[in-house]
Every structure is written in structure tokens, then in C-alpha cells.
Amino acid sequence: MVRNPRRLAPSVLVGVLALAGCSGGTQTGDATPVTAPATVESSAATSETPTATASPPSATVEPPAPTATASTAPAPTPDAVMPALHSRTYEQARTEFSRQDLSPARLTAAAQHKDVTLPRDHDGWYICDTSPRPGAPLPATTTVTVRLAQDFSDCTTSFNGYLYEKNDPSSTP
């Protein structure tokens, strides 16, 4: 049985803490203290003058860096991301769009196959493909096209874009 010395645990703890302290700080080559960067919180904060921090007598004091002015324009909202809709019904896709605060009117339905006519009521049809792809940015002006099939198994069936081989003009009987 191997026995660990009692001094090993505190030494390891000090080493881990030292490594953890080194990972996030700014390194300087001299003995000057490192201060956190200034942030602008509001327009009232820009009228205040920055205060100097105490420094050792041997260190030189640099003038404060210019601060950015606060902008009155709101920050741009990030584009939404295209949800994964594959294998869901068209009705479920509309529900998902509403849940993510996207307008369901942006959805455009089309048949997956050239020889299939999409009925007016296609809420129960399955989504085979989407454009744009799942995870892609979805700007507010983008229309989402979903390709639908009546049965989900029909999503993988295609004869040059046709559901039935007999409808494919390039097939020979």
C-alpha cells in the first residue's frame, strides 16, 4: 500500500489555485498594478472624471485612455435562427414559429415531388426539407420554404423529383 505524504494535498491545492489565478488576468512586464478596463454605463457616467488609483512611487502614471461615448441608438437585435423542422407536420412548424416569436406567415409550403399537388389543407403533411437549412441565420425579411409529403416515408422516395416512377419522363417501362 502506497501512502501519500500529508504535505502533498496542500501543495497540490496551492498549485491548482495558482494556475487558476493565471488564466484570466492581464500580464504586465513591470511592477505596475493592473486595473480593470473602464466601462460606460450611461450618459451620466461620461460626465464624471476618472479617479486615479494609488500607485507605487517608482511607477509612472499614464494618462487615462479616451472613453467611448454612449450611443442613443438601440443595439441591433440578433437574427433569429432557423429551427429544425424536419419530420414535423406543417401545423407543428407553424406552432414552433409562434413559440419562437417568428411570424408563421413567413412559411411557404411546397410539395416535395413534382407529380404531387399540395392540397389547400396540408396541416397534417410532413416536412421533408427546409430552406434555409436548420441553424442558419433567419433575417426578418427571409421567407422559409418547407417541402411537404403526405407520408413521412415519401420524403426519401424520389424518381428524379417524382414520387411515382411512372410519372418520371426519363424512366423506361
Q: Is the model's pTM score more than 0.85? A: no
Does residue 8 or residue 97 have the better pLDDT? 97
pLDDT average, residue stretch 48-60? 52
Average model confidence (pLDDT) for the chain?
75
What grid cell was written down for 8? 502533498
**How big is the chain by its Cα radius of gyration, in Å?**
31
**Whole-Å CA distances, 36 to 27, 59, 64, 86, 95:** 12, 18, 12, 47, 46
Which has more confidence, 106 or 59? 106
Return the pLDDT at 42: 44
Task: To the nearest 10°, report the CA torsion of 123, 125, 128, 130.
Answer: -20
pLDDT at position 69, please?
53
pLDDT at 3: 57
Look at residue 16 and tell me whether its pLDDT is greater than 60: no
